[in-house]
Amino acid sequence: MNRIPYGKHHITEDDIRAVVKTLRSEYLTQGPKVDEFEQKFAQFTGCKYAIATMNGTAALHLSALALGITPGDKVLTTPITFAASANCVIYAGGKVDFVDIDKESFLIDLNRVEDKLKKNKPGTYTCIIPVDFAGYPVRLDLLRDIADKYGCRILEDACHAPGAYYTDKDGNRQACGNCNYADAAVFSFHPVKHIATGEGGMVTTNNRTIYEKIKLLRTHGITKDPEILEENHGGWYYEMQELGYNYRIPDILCALGISQLQKIDKNLEQRNKIAQKYNNAFQNHPGIPTPVIQKQVFHAYHLYVILTDERKGLYNYLKDKNIFTQVHYIPLHMQPYYRHMGWKRGDFPVAEAYYERCLSLPIYPSLSEEEQQYVIDAILGYFS
């Protein structure tokens, strides 16, 4: 059997033609494909504004700045996430604090969020960064009630969850990144994500001020917009109004993103089909707990995570069979950088217990039935 990774991009001939067409066009960067990608992604998520960036980390950094995180501000997030979800706070000069996860959904525990906020003075925390881990959407309607009570903004890390949704307390379907409850949301277009552009990211928001701030910071803090220039010497004139960054994404990658976005529904359908086959295969095996999904939730399945007490043995056994699983994630508070800030093992026991047992199985649209069955047979064979 050929190498089977945990995640993999899927590029079609349509994708290649879209990129080649842009390569032959007048613009390779700062051209019309950026605006087109942003508009189509905003329509897809149901938000008012979308701003494309060079990667998901840049999207997080710019969002942290636009949401007003400043030196000394404290921000809450989950320890079970990629480092960028917390690092963006440090980039902005803020301080990170963590909240343990729910033992079934692996998402940030909203009850613990409120407990932490309740135990501190009002204004201690200025923002909360929930993560739609593995593609499972956080109930942002419930988090919004908590955040409003304690004066916090919400930055949704939806990098795992384009197309995922939940039904809110009023019975309305809420798509990840629509920003009906979050102040802003971020997405990633890394090759293992649902939409692959090589590198790339997106911020979505319904707040015009946040949108304009991110657009300015994305391009060195420079603008040519005549409506906000302090002076205007002519058509060539521009102003650097803030200290910004070169976080632009080129048209080449946006052309690929537009093409990939057209296939997102089939992508999600296939990921859910693969997940259901895993569920059926392992449902009667006590040693392989499968993901727990609440009713009226649509999971995007960026990852398919099982828990097992035999994690290291199974990982090595599958690797020998050319099946490459992965662990998502080592809790952030256990990383050396954050340990040096005072965090230690034992601070977030649910996250740590999850880490000791979690294993992400192969899941991506081009995974064939034969390949998936090979994975399933190998896992069941190991346990037998």
Domain of 235: which CATH number? 3.40.640.10
* 53, part of any domain: yes
Domain that holds residue 297: 264-383
* 31, part of any domain: yes
* 7, part of any domain: no
Domain count for the chain: 2
Across 276-314, b (16+ Cβ under 10 Å) vs e yields ebbeebbeeeeebebbeeeeeebbbbbbbbbbbeebeeb
pLDDT by residue (tens digit) across 266-285? Answer: 999 999 999 999 999 999 89
The reported pLDDT for the residue numbered 263 is 97
User: Which residues of the chain are under the pLDDT cut of 70?
Assistant: none
The reported pLDDT for the residue numbered 327 is 98
The reported pLDDT for the residue numbered 295 is 87
Residues 269 and 254 in one domain: no
* 4, part of any domain: no
Residues 165 and 291 in one domain: no
Please say which residue of 219, 245, 261 terminates a domain.
261
The reported pLDDT for the residue numbered 93 is 97
The reported pLDDT for the residue numbered 234 is 93
pLDDT by residue (tens digit) across 186-244? Answer: 999 999 999 999 999 999 999 999 999 999 999 999 999 999 999 999 999 999 999 99
Residues 347 and 218 in one domain: no
Nearest-5° Cα angle at 268, 55 to 330: 55
The reported pLDDT for the residue numbered 86 is 98
The reported pLDDT for the residue numbered 1 is 86
Residues 221 and 282 in one domain: no
Residues 228 and 156 in one domain: yes
Which residue in 258, 262, 240 sits closest to 250, CA to CA? 258
Residues 105 and 201 in one domain: yes
Residues 120 and 224 in one domain: yes
326/53 Cα distance (integer angstroms): 27
Please say which residue of 241, 261, 281 terminates a domain.
261
Residues 97 and 242 in one domain: yes
Residues 232 and 273 in one domain: no
The reported pLDDT for the residue numbered 7 is 98
Residues 216 and 158 in one domain: yes
Q: Write the CA distances from 270 to 264, 275, 277, 352, integer angstroms.
A: 10, 9, 11, 31
Residues 311 and 345 in one domain: yes
